[in-house]
Structure 1
Amino acid sequence: MSRFLSRFEKHEKRTQNVELKDHGISYTVKIGIGLPPRYYDLLVDTASTHTWIGGHKRYSRTKTSIKQEGRSFSVEYFKGSMTAVVYKDRVQLSSSLIIPNMEFGVLVVESMQNMNLECDGILGLGPTVLSGRRVTPNNGQYLPTIMDELLVQGIIQQNVFGLSFAPTPQGTVSGELTFGGIKLQDNINSMNWADITRKVPWNSYWGFEQAIKYGDQLLQPLSTGFLDSGTILIYISPQAFETYSKSLPGSKIDESRSKLLEIPQASLSKMKSLSFLINGVSYELTPNAQLWPKRLNTLVGGAPDRYYSVVQNVGTLKLRSPVKLDFIMGYVFMKRFYTAYDGDNSKIGFAYTPSTYADVY
């Protein structure tokens, strides 16, 4: 870690911070495309690599837009697919962070069941290797990721980014995306860098291995999954979820509305901490952090007066992948812990934050 920190400190002036907006179920980044810029809110997604536009708001060309003739690509997501044509233009992520010439996709066909398309598209932050496995340009050419573009054009010097989320009210600009390094703050000394897993196909994601404890009980032995800022909940194995739900008397899946685990008020006092053991360090999710904020119940289809868990059975996702997936650590986990992503060294960093133990209702 000391080598990483010294290398980071040497280039710290080359880091770039971008504000993120909390929508209650996702974080978005506002980007400007073209001259004069037209603005789009893109979902920050660590489980996909390509940046594309055309979800809630359709793409509108500017004077500087250049269509890349004959170039298109298709992406298979866990819950759908999309096809886009390729454009090149000036992309602005903040007043000081501008990519003069960046390739991105413009949506032409989509089938995105159950995906949040209230945003205008996706900002893909997955590892570059993921693009080669799941994206197929129709002419075989490679489409650079946003991290590739920033590095090649000399805007950043390290293939590293960090994400800072917080459990804040809906509509608040409370997140931060740091390109080229990690956020300089007190928790940098406690960053825990875990290796990306070697297990296929999760080694192409920000995948890692962890064990899970509920109180003092081992809930899920060492297993493999990945971080995904584009997924709302924390998903654990079917066996672990069954044990977890049975520990809360009267809890049941809200089949008619949210499809989440509903917990009776009388069982809230029986909840224990859920701990994720990553690279020798335990990351504690308190009982409060395991509850979906009641003020946001309607965003997930829940009743306004009910209590819901943010923990769910990964088997309910009906993923297209033929390979077993043991967990997904989604947006709710990342609101409690700082995460960083080192593409060159194939590592993922985790750190406690002031939000880890905050009570949110």
Structure 2
Amino acid sequence: MKISACIVAALMVVASVQAAPLSEAEAHSNGWTVPLENNPSFDRNVSRQSLRAWAKFRKLASGNRIGRINAVTLPFIDVGHDYEYYTSVQIGTPPKTFKLNFDTGSSDLWFPYTACKTCKGKTIYNPTKSSTYKKDGRPWSIRYGDGSTSKGILGTDTVSLGGLNIIGQTIEMANEISTGFQKDEIDGLLGLGFNSICTVAGIKTPVDNLISQKLINSPIYGVFLGKAANGGGGAYTFGGYDKSKISGKLTTVPVDNSQGFWGITVDSLSAGSKSVTKKFQAIVDTGTTLCLLPNDVAATVAKQVGATDNNDGSYTISCDSSKIPDLHFTIGGANFKVPGADLIFDKNNDGTCIAGFGYSSLNFAILGDVFIKNNYVVFNQQVPQIQLAPIAGL
């Protein structure tokens, strides 16, 4: 899977189209939400996640319905105190259930199948047991920056997202996964990036097919990630968004998808009342755990919040949230906050704490779960654009 701590790299965002924002009534009424649940027992590895985030983005450095349902909300499980989130997805006929991480920073859908000898403890897909499976046979392979890998062959089958049946979805069946994936809670990954970054050219993503098969009325999905401190969980709503989760109005932000990612411009960043930097580029990525900033931006933030560089992409920060100012991101002319308390990501055995932001050799920011669990995001693939609003009640 591809989750990671906040890394930053430069992305040239040139948005050629900006459509008028969807009305709240229109978007919300057509949505179907999937909830997330909480799983408190998980061993987190921030360093590994930073490496994965860097590897994923390094190329940028220098009629098939159930009844009347046409949108769906999927509940998610919060693993390892906001380390990652996954939901259940049904694949095949009869359906088999897999735990998949939904990742806006990649575009492949993969999980283990019967030929995998390194997938002990995972849910295993058996193509011979599904009446809707069709053979493809082309190979695929993914490698991450920490050395984690997954590879196998392609096929097609029915994929069900909370009752929306995608017919003939290309699936990547893994016959080998490396140790990092073997130890992970999830079975595989479902990418929500653009199809230009699929491992095998020409594949349609699940969202592509939700739209082309007219399973959703609107080409959008809303993302709510819960905080373990508030009970965890979360939900993705395909075909709409959950109005009850937002505070105030949605702010529309143009997206540059030229590199296959959800690229946006951050107008400015401040820590408390002190300005950190003006404009920089960022990628909105549900598959990255932290907020990863460009080196110079991260260093300035660290100075303002009293964090110490660990020289590995992470920072040590005070465990007393009262001493840490909030971060304020200005995006599309509106303010989006990450509270000082959420800049404390984890506590070490020696009593020190790891920050919820970091850096790498990339020159754009990756706005991962530390940002998203404070700000609701509506992704619109067709414009493309995102819409943002602070999460209600925070």
- TM-score bucket (shorter structure): 0.7 to 0.9
1:57 aligns with 2:122: yes
Query: 1:314 aligns to what?
Result: 360
Shift of 1:286: 1.9
Amino acid at match of 2:72: Q
Give the count of matched residue pairs. 325
Q: 1:304 to 1:67 in 2, by over 3 A?
A: farther
Query: 2:86 aligns to what?
Result: 28
Distance 1:248 1:193 in 2: 29
Provide the aligned C-alpha RMSD in A. 3.0
Q: Is the 8 A contact 2:84 2:289 kept in 1?
A: yes
Distance 1:157 1:116 in 2: 38
1:231 aligns with 2:231: no
Q: Is the 8 A contact 2:224 2:235 kept in 1?
A: yes
| Equivalent residue in structure 2 for 1:145, among 188, 193, 205 | 205
Structure 2 unaligned residues grouped into runs of 5+: 1-18, 32-68, 113-118
TM-score under structure 2 length normalisation = 0.73
Q: 1:161 to 1:248 in 2, by over 3 A?
A: closer
Q: Is the 8 A contact 1:220 1:237 kept in 2?
A: no
| Equivalent residue in structure 1 for 2:275, among 218, 233, 242 | 218
Q: 1:76 to 1:157 in 2, by over 3 A?
A: farther
1:8 aligns with 2:66: no
Structure 1 unaligned residues grouped into runs of 5+: 316-323
1:207 aligns with 2:271: no
Shift of 1:77: 5.0
Q: Is the 8 A contact 1:314 1:328 kept in 2?
A: no
Distance 2:385 2:296 in 1: 28
Q: Is the 8 A contact 2:87 2:100 kept in 1?
A: yes
Q: 1:169 to 1:92 in 2, by over 3 A?
A: farther
| Equivalent residue in structure 2 for 1:330, among 368, 372, 376 | 368
Q: Is the 8 A contact 2:73 2:235 kept in 1?
A: yes
Q: 1:246 to 1:69 in 2, by over 3 A?
A: closer
Q: Is the 8 A contact 1:65 1:87 kept in 2?
A: no
Amino acid at match of 1:263: I
Distance 2:182 2:376 in 1: 25
Q: How does 1:45-194 map to 2 (within 5 A)?
A: 45-54=103-112, 57=122, 59-61=124-126, 62-64=129-131, 66-75=133-142, 81-94=149-162, 96-110=163-177, 117-131=184-198, 135-137=199-201, 142-168=202-228, 174-185=233-244, 187=246, 190-194=249-253
Q: Is the 8 A contact 2:246 2:392 kept in 1?
A: no
Distance 1:68 1:343 in 2: 29
Distance 1:169 1:217 in 2: 28
Greater Cα shift, 36-45 or 101-110? 101-110
2:278 aligns to what SS in structure 1? strand
CA deviation vs aligned residue, 1:278-319 (integer Å, no higher than 9, x gap) = 010111222112212x5xx4xxxx32733322011233xxxx
Shift of 1:253: 4.1
Q: Is the 8 A contact 1:21 1:174 kept in 2?
A: yes
Q: Percent identity?
A: 20
